[in-house]
């Protein structure tokens, strides 16, 4: 018996050591599951309230909505189109047909957000929705182009419709106050033809920590003017860890105002780590490059549009954005892009 005890405790010690090593090498694998203690699929029943939202690619949308305390579960799916029982491939085939002139309405990639009314509200869910993506881009979201990536709220009753429209109008006012002139293009329509997405799309970023990283919206907080403190009462976790978006957060580092590359990254972005390892570690290009976890450039430096994803490498000349490279598909493609500038 003593021998088996020794074997048992040895195996247990090895298992704990391997888990610890895994957490150090890839903390995102563990951090994702610890973000929101309210997540509980088992608590979802036939009467659990939910809302269906389109925010572009549903991988990032799922993660963003899972971060809100009070959300019980988030399911990736398709909604808002003419087809019944659509699939991922059907959406892309339909979008190609639309581009060729076919008169058909495509589904949007969506997330079905189940929430606990004792912990949160539909209004708070919608606030998370508005703050977590760019609702002014029409039939696209960042680099993802097509009506299947449109911003949308699909409601099931008149109360949901009215609240979606009210919060949209408030957030439009917030964008205007922040100097953003774009008009919100979010589709607000009755829910129809909802279909759950394929299994491999569910909890995608939890299964694939190196997957697509988003920046969590336009950097503009939702503030209801009738409740001035509302914007300070959010109890949510952003998609990525990032400092307050302020020019003053830039450290006193040397930058070349004539020509400078800035790599905008994020703490939990796997592709950023790949870019650092495969490109930055052997950097020999004459153009100076720096990295930052901030989402705004230094004071008096100008982006052509808000950042959407990480990594985003921006080339500045005379403190003005000239070109940008979003995402990371390998060192060769990055160098080909840079050599063309």
Distance CA 33, CA 56 (A): 23
Q: Is 56 left (phi over 0), alpha (psi -120 to 50) or beta?
A: left
Instruction: Report whether pLDDT(141) > 90.
Output: no
Find the DSSP H helices in the chain: 2-25, 28-34, 58-66, 88-99, 122-131, 158-177, 204-207, 270-278, 331-339
Q: Which of 140, 147, 146 has its CA nearest to residue 182?
A: 140
Q: What is the arrangement of strands in the sheet containing 288-292, beginning at the earlier edge strand?
A: 288-292, 259-264, 312-317, 320-326
Q: Dump pLDDT digits (tens) for 63-75.
A: 889 888 899 999 9
What are the phi and psi torsion angles at 168 (to 5°)? -60, -45
pLDDT of residue 32: 38
Residues β-bridged to residue 75 = 112
Give me the catalytic one of 57, 213, 269, 272. Answer: 57
Q: Where do the structural domains in the chain lie, given as residue ranges?
A: 33-232, 247-339
pLDDT of residue 227: 67
CB 154 within 8 A of CB 126: no
Judge whether 33-232 and 247-339 match in fold. Answer: no
Q: Which of 14-23, 34-43, 178-187, 200-209 has the highest mean pLDDT?
A: 178-187
Output the CA–CA distances (angstroms, integers) from residue 134 to 1, 83, 244, 308, in the order listed. Answer: 63, 26, 19, 8
Question: Does residue 57 carry a catalytic annotation?
Answer: yes
135: DSSP letter: T
Fold classified for 33-232: 3.30.1060
Q: Whats the size of the chain, residue-wise?
A: 341
- Per-residue pLDDT band for 327 (boundaries 50, 70, 90) equals confident
- Per-residue pLDDT band for 241 (boundaries 50, 70, 90) equals very low
- Per-residue pLDDT band for 8 (boundaries 50, 70, 90) equals very low
CATH of domain 247-339: 3.40.30.10
Q: Dump pLDDT digits (tens) for 262-299.
A: 998 876 677 788 899 999 999 999 999 999 888 888 98
């Amino acid at each position: 018996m003593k021998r088996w005890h020794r074997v048992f405790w040895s195996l247990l010690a090895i298992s704990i050591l391997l888990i610890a090593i895994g957490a150090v090498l890839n903390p995102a694998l563990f951090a994702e599951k610890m973000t929101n203690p309210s997540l509980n699929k088992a608590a979802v029943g036939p009467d659990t309230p939910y809302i269906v939202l389109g925010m572009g690619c549903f991988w990032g949308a799922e993660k963003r909505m899972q971060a809100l305390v009070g959300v019980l579960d988030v399911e990736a799916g398709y909604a808002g189109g003419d087809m019944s029982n659509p699939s991922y491939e059907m959406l892309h085939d339909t979008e190609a047909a639309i581009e060729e002139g076919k008169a058909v309405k495509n589904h949007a990639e969506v997330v079905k957000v189940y929430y606990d009314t004792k912990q949160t509200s539909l209004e708070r869910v919608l606030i998370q929705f508005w703050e977590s993506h760019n609702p002014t881009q029409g039939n696209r979201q960042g680099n993802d182009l097509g009506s299947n990536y449109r911003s949308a709220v699909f409601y099931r009753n008149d109360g949901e419709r009215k609240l979606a429209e009210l919060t949209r109008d408030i957030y439009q006012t917030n964008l205007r106050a922040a100097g953003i002139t774009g008009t919100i293009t979010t589709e607000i329509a009755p829910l129809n033809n909802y279909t759950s997405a394929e299994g491999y799309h569910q909890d995608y970023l939890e299964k694939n920590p190196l997957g697509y990283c988003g920046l969590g919206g336009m950097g503009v907080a939702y503030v209801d003017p009738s409740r001035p403190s509302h914007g300070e009462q959010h109890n949510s976790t952003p998609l990525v860890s990032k400092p307050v978006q302020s020019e003053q957060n830039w450290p006193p580092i040397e930058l070349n105002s004539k020509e400078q590359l800035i790599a905008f990254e994020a703490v939990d972005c796997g592709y950023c780590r790949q870019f650092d390892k495969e490109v930055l570690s052997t950097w020999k290009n004459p153009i100076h490059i720096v990295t930052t976890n901030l989402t705004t450039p230094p004071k008096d430096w100008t982006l052509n549009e808000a950042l959407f994803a990480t990594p985003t490498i921006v080339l500045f000349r005379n403190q003005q954005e000239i070109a940008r490279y979003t995402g990371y598909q390998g060192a060769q493609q990055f160098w080909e892009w840079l050599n063309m500038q």
